[in-house]
Amino acid sequence: MKSGIRTFAAMGLAFGLLTATQATTAEATTVRVAINASDVANLDPHRASSTADKTLVGWMFNGLVRFPPGSADPAKIEPDLAESWAVSDDGLVWTFKLRQGVKFHGDWGELTAEDVVYSLKRAADKERSSFAGTYDGFEDVVAVDPTTVRIELSYPVPGFLGLVANYHGGNIVSKKAAEALGADFNSKPVGTGPFMLAERVTQQYVRLDANKSYFRGAPKIDEIMYRFIPSDSSRDLAFASGELDLIYGKREQRWVDTARQNPDAIVDIFQPGEFRTIHLNQSIKPLDDLRVRKAVAHAINVDDIVTYVGKDVGPKGCSVVPTGYLGEDCSWSYDHDVAKAKELLAEAGHPDGIEVTAVVSSNASQLPIMEIIQAQLAEAGITMNMNVVDHPTYHQQIRQDASAITFYGAARFPVADSYLTQFYHSDAIVGRETAITNFSHCDVADAEIEGARKAAIEAERMKLWAQAQQKIHDAVCAIPLFSLMQVWQRTKALDYGYELKGAMNLAPSITEATTLNR
């Protein structure tokens, strides 16, 4: 009976989607999108952090440079609002020449160097930006003239162009609009992108209109209807009924395999993946003993975990730096060897095994994996007691050193420094004033991490990153598992206008070249 009620509710929602779309679009070419969220939280690009928020931001804003549509590769960054740039020999001064005639949405005028200066200083301000920490190396940002911006750094910043790209703090906002709207800017954002905010109805949808004055040309799509449908089954039903063109999928192999059976649809799986890692807390005994940490590493069978997750959705990791990141070095691994794990425990004075406690989120993307790991560890005589809590409580407790073993998944800017700094530098150790996400209390590679940041030569930086990864591996600070990729489904009638391999905003880019032929 309950199953029937859910199906009826989903059918009612699907019918509502159809009638609402018909009523609002008339003859417009409308891309109908659904996300697995109940609403957006913040559309200010310097605050947007959830997938639901970043998806919209990605369609409305530009950076000085950009990841080309369909790419999350830092090596392929290209001009965006800047038409060219130059860098000093020491890597400390970057000068950007802006495109002329770029217009902000609405009546907020043309882009000038003052907007860029304002935006980047705003991105570096912790009172106005969630990404301020990544701009610590910015000494000053200066408007040389109306179309020229100079950025002065206190040290060479690894992956610098990524900080001024169309991602997080690199998005350029209208100074006039942001100052005039104040706190309302988060619900009335003004950018330069191919689409602009037209309407928002809380917990129902956001509608974007095409920016006909877009500097790359007017979009071929007239509008985007972005609907909030938290229920996976309801999104699936509405898509199968032809009432949606693009949906956020389930990041599970079984869902992907089923979705691929639809002959009129395409499943897109792309980077960046959220890198899943097991962090071993050295501040909690007996994990302070390297031999015990090695035993844990040998007891975990990553190949079996990847088989469970699915090779398409969760490809295996090979370093503490995520797969595909610039600077990733895969020169080693921990072999699955239960006998070796038991031998190491005995050498450490634990012939009868050990017992540890892990705080585990009840989230469906975490609990099943930890149950598998619990069973694997048990084979080697390692008892992992799981304290299962809701997701917010999990985040709180792992930052209070309540967990000896922490399962964590994250996506960061795809350069080795971002992950090494936030997860393995001693300044990031949880419990310190400078804490970020160093749950293992790892402190063996500070010199290499810091040295790579200051290296002016790319080859030297890559060498230092590799050395840092080697030290972290040898100390068994963490055990890399897999990357949980982004999964979306679209109708074959929707042509992005590019090949989708990656998207930093975790959603397919809808650009001026995107078409829909129903």
Q: How far apart are CA 251 and CA 309, in angstroms?
A: 9
Peptide bond into 272 cis (omega under 30): yes
CA distances from 29 to 219, 238, 515, 518 (A): 10, 19, 9, 9
Tokens 């050193």 belong to residue: 401
Q: How far apart are CA 159 and CA 186, in angstroms?
A: 28
Peptide bond into 230 cis (omega under 30): no
Q: Which CATH superfamily is domain 2-245+493-516 in?
A: Periplasmic binding protein-like II (3.40.190.10)
Tokens 């990404």 belong to residue: 131
Q: Where in the chain is the domain with CATH 3.10.105.10?
A: 271-484
Backbone phi, then psi, for 187, in 5-degree steps?
-115, -5
Going by the DSSP 8-state scheme, the letter that residue 317 receives in this structure is P
- What is the pLDDT, as a whole number, of residue 3? 37
Please give the helix or strand (H or E) that residue 11 lies within, else none.
helix 2-25
Q: How far apart are CA 482 and CA 84, in angstroms?
A: 37
- Type of residue numbered 245: D
Alpha-helix runs per DSSP H in 210-249 = 232-240
Helix 338-347 vs helix 290-299: crossing angle, to nearest 10: 160
Considering just the CA atoms, what is the radius of gyration of the chain in Å? Answer: 24
Q: Are β-strands 65-66 and 30-35 bridged in parallel, bridged antiparallel, or unpaired?
A: unpaired
- What is the pLDDT, as a whole number, of residue 1? 37
Question: Does residue 48 contact residue 57 with C-beta atoms inside 8 Å?
Answer: yes
Q: How far apart are CA 241 and CA 219, in angstroms?
A: 26
CA distances from 361 to 196, 249, 306 (A): 37, 21, 19
On the CB side of 397, CA atoms within 13 Å amount to 20
Q: How far apart are CA 165 and CA 167, in angstroms?
A: 6
- Closest among 466, 369, 356 to 408, alpha carbons compared: 369
Tokens 């907020």 belong to residue: 108
**Tens of pLDDT, residue by residue, the chain (518 residues):** 333 333 333 434 444 544 444 444 446 799 999 999 899 989 999 999 888 999 999 999 999 999 999 999 988 999 999 999 999 988 899 999 999 999 999 999 999 999 999 999 999 998 999 888 789 899 999 999 999 999 999 988 888 999 999 999 999 999 999 999 999 999 999 999 999 999 999 999 999 999 999 999 999 999 999 999 999 999 999 999 999 999 999 988 999 999 999 999 999 999 999 999 999 999 999 999 999 999 999 999 999 999 999 989 999 999 999 988 889 999 878 999 999 999 999 999 999 999 999 999 998 889 999 999 999 999 999 999 999 999 889 999 999 999 999 999 988 888 899 899 989 999 999 999 888 899 999 999 999 999 998 887 889 999 999 999 999 999 999 999 999 999 999 999 999 999 999 999 999 999 999 999 98
> How many CB atoms are closer than 10 A to CB 387?
13
- What is the pLDDT, as a whole number, of residue 21? 46
Q: Which CATH superfamily is domain 271-484 in?
A: Dipeptide-binding Protein; Domain 3 (3.10.105.10)
Question: Does residue 322 contact residue 328 with C-beta atoms inside 8 Å?
Answer: yes
- What is the pLDDT, as a whole number, of residue 391? 86
Q: Which two tokens stand for residue 233?
A: 């089954």
Q: Where in the chain is the domain with CATH 3.40.190.10?
A: 2-245+493-516
Question: Does residue 469 contact residue 321 with C-beta atoms inside 8 Å?
Answer: yes
Question: Does residue 67 contact residue 324 with C-beta atoms inside 8 Å?
Answer: no
